[in-house]
Amino acid sequence: MLSVAIRHRFGAFALDAAFEAPPGITVLFGRSGSGKSTIVNAVAGLFAPDAGRIEVDGRALFDAAAGVNLPPHRRRLGYVFQEGRLFPHLSVRRNLLYGRWFAPRKVPRAEIDRVVEMLGLGPLLERRPGALSGGEKQRVAIGRALLASPRLILADEPLAALDEARKAEILPYFERLRDEAAAPVLYVSHSAAEVARLATTVVALQAGRVIRQGPAAEVLGDPSVAPTGVRGVGAVLEARVAAHHADGLSELDAAGDRLFLPKVLQPVGATVRVRMAASEVMLSLEPPRAISALNILPGTVEAIHDGQGPGTIVSVRTRAGTVLARVTRRSAEALALAPGLPVHAIVKTVAIAPEDVGGEAHAAHQEPAR
Amino acid sequence: MSWLPGPEALEALSLSLKVSAWATAGSLPFALLAAHALARWRFPGRGLLNGLVHLPLVLPPVVTGWLLLMVFGTRGPVGSLLAEVGVVLAFRWTGAALAAAVMAFPLMVRAIRLSIDAVDPKLEQAAGTLGASRPWVFATVTLPLILPGIVAGAVLAFAKAMGEFGATITFVSNIPGETRTLPSAIYAFLQTPGGESQALALAGVSVAVAMGALLVSELVAVRVAARVRGA
């Protein structure tokens, strides 16, 4: 468990953030300039805030009042940087084992083999970082952080420098990390899709302050939290893969309702998270008939969140969980939407991108798409 | 009249090689420290250090030699202390090595500093987060990455030491077998009737040593750079 409570002032920007990161992935979520990277660097010891305390499992890494400020090398971290930062003069193998030289507890051989296998690094071991692709570099960087036997793993937008295909290659490894690593992971992101797939806990930041923290589904399902703008709003549902069909679709069971998605990687029986962007969800009072959209979830209106502009966000309680729909205020009035009203939420299959679907622990042994 | 170097010339050559090797090896740790301090540390007096390091590059060598004589001569403040423990520099080959080291120092520091500037501090940060303390970061990341600069600096310093004349002759004079280095010997031969052929032979040797040093440094630098780039 990591707990952070820090204050710092840089000119006009004031950082005043407090949160706790339980095991699993805690995502610091916010637009650029909200203070995410500053917090991670403070946790890493790369910068000392004016005031506050940072502790891991009860041990203070930083405590301004007590004058404690451990240097980075004594904090037992694994930091995955945005640009990888692999050592160019060392082979992949020696990059991976770099932290092991300094760890008080030597990572056992079997653990090294497991990490190498989990990240698919076997064929790369003798290569130099200069000969690796962007995605391969990031996989090595993740492995290097893990093998330092860290008590805390930090990742500062580790996918931001990669294209979509490479992101899709790396995301499953972070899912495995979330489900298998004992150390808590503090992960910085400004991508709603990444957050929806990876986060166990979300800490939403705005202008240096924590505006909301809690379990991922709860925070992302709250329309008042939209750190990256209204387009980032979307609910996350859990569903079980029921079948893969020959026409390229996968059928999922979301607490009794059928969902059809473009083919997902997880095997039948696996539980996955599906993010539905609010702007892709339509509402209908009648059960729609003769409509091309394949996903229809019956439910009742839970709340209507008016914001600025012509749009409004309606949260609908379905059997599978809360679904958010972004509709115009005009439509909301025309349908006389009000809490308690039965409605049908409609989502086009093709509106759900592969990056919106993520696997859980037991689904993670599937090879990622290349 | 012979075009081959005679015994006197060979003696000067071997003395010069010894003096230059000691000058280079002895000043390398200090140059590394000075280059690292100038490239990475912010401290009061940094400008002064930078000026001091570069002073021999811009001062007339005779002035540098005379300053060395005043400080390290047997009656100088440092020289007298050293004399008490039995170390004499003035008019000894060790003094020639000191003069050569001082004159070559700025070149070595500059070459090393350039290579330190080229190392991304973010890599050093990354090493720190993986548990490496400052000295370990230097030994395992910084040092391997600046190796080409160190090689280049050392070779440049060696070549400069081989050719050092003004400060050497002022500080330690021109004693055959003790302080008569290659340039001093060439100068002495030119002062002697009929010495031109020996001077020419030594000049040829100087050119060969200098070219050889440059070639070796090129080869080493290319190899090390390829290894460090990680291709």
> What pTM value is reported for the model?
0.77
Integer CA distances (angstroms), B192 to A285, B9, B187, B200, B204, in order: 114, 13, 9, 13, 19
DSSP string covering A23-79, please? SSEEEEE--TTSSHHHHHHHHHTSS--SEEEEEETTEEEEETTTTEE--GGGS-EEE
> Which site among A47, A81, A89, A156 would you substitute to test the B interface, given the most B Cβ atoms closer than 10 Å to its Cβ?
A89
Residue A318, H or E segment? strand A311-318
Residue A361: its pLDDT value, please? 39
3-class state of residue A293 by DSSP: coil
What would the CATH number be for the domain defined by B7-229?
1.10.3720.10
Nearest CA-CA distance, residue A81 and chain B, Å: 8
Nearest CA-CA distance, residue A210 and chain B, Å: 26
pLDDT along chain A (370 residues), means of 10: 90 89 89 86 90 90 89 89 91 91 82 87 91 89 89 89 79 82 86 82 88 81 62 79 90 88 87 85 89 90 77 85 86 89 90 75 37
Residue A229: its pLDDT value, please? 57
Question: Taking each helix axis from N to C terminus, what angle separates B196-229 and B182-191, rounded to the nearest 10 degrees?
Answer: 160
Instruction: Pick the closest to residue B107 from B50, B172, B54 (CA basis).
Output: B54
The answer to whether the CB atoms of A75 and B129 lie below 8 A apart is yes
The CATH number of domain A235-363, selected from 3.40.50.300, 2.40.50.100, 2.60.40.10, 1.10.3720.10: 2.40.50.100
B141 touches chain A (CB under 8 A): yes
Residue B20, H or E segment? helix B7-40
How high is the mean pLDDT of chain B? 89
The answer to whether the CB atoms of B231 and A131 lie below 8 A apart is yes
Integer CA distances (angstroms), A205 to A16, A93, A161, B89, in order: 10, 37, 22, 67
Instruction: Pick the closest to residue B20 from B150, B168, B220, B169 (CA basis).
Output: B168
CA distance B42 to B195: 53
Q: What is the per-residue pLDDT across A85-129, written as a single tens digit (0 to 9) for each?
A: 999 999 999 999 998 888 877 778 888 898 898 888 999 999 999
Residue A6: its pLDDT value, please? 92
Q: Please say whether the structural domain A2-230 has been given the CATH code 3.40.50.300.
A: yes
CA distance B95 to B89: 4
The answer to whether the CB atoms of B230 and A131 lie below 8 A apart is yes
3-class state of residue B19 by DSSP: helix
Residue A92: its pLDDT value, please? 93
Residue B230: its pLDDT value, please? 58
Residue in this structure with the two tokens 């290319």, named with its chain if needed: B222
DSSP string covering A76-115, please? -EEEE-TT----TTS-HHHHHTHHHHH-SSPPPHHHHHHH
Nearest CA-CA distance, residue A269 and chain B, Å: 39
Nearest CA-CA distance, residue B182 and chain A, Å: 40
CA distance B114 to B124: 17
3-class state of residue A249 by DSSP: strand
* Partner A, chain B 174-213, Cβ-Cβ below 8 Å: none
Q: What is the per-residue pLDDT across B101-140, written as a single tens digit (0 to 9) for each?
A: 999 999 999 989 988 988 899 999 999 999 899 999 999 9
Chain B residue with CA closest to A149: the answer is B130
The answer to whether the CB atoms of A130 and B230 lie below 8 A apart is yes
From chain B, the residues in CB contact with A44 under 8 A are 129
Residue A308: its pLDDT value, please? 64
Instruction: Pick the closest to residue A181 from A144, A150, A136 (CA basis).
Output: A150
The answer to whether the CB atoms of A128 and B129 lie below 8 A apart is no
Q: What is the per-residue pLDDT across B187-222, written as a single tens digit (0 to 9) for each?
A: 999 998 988 888 999 999 889 888 888 888 788 778
Provide, for chain B, the percentages of residues in helix, strand and coil under a 3-state DSSP scheme, each rounded to the nearest 5: 80, 0, 20
From chain A, the residues in CB contact with B140 under 8 A are 98, 101
List chain A domain ranges: 2-230, 235-363
From chain A, the residues in CB contact with B133 under 8 A are 71, 73, 102
Residue A369: its pLDDT value, please? 38
**Residues A295 and A235 sit within 8 Å (Cβ to Cβ):** no
A106 touches chain B (CB under 8 A): no
Torsion of CA A159, A165, A171, A172, to 10 degrees: -160
Query: Considering CB atoms only, which of B120, B136, B145 is closest to A89?
Result: B145
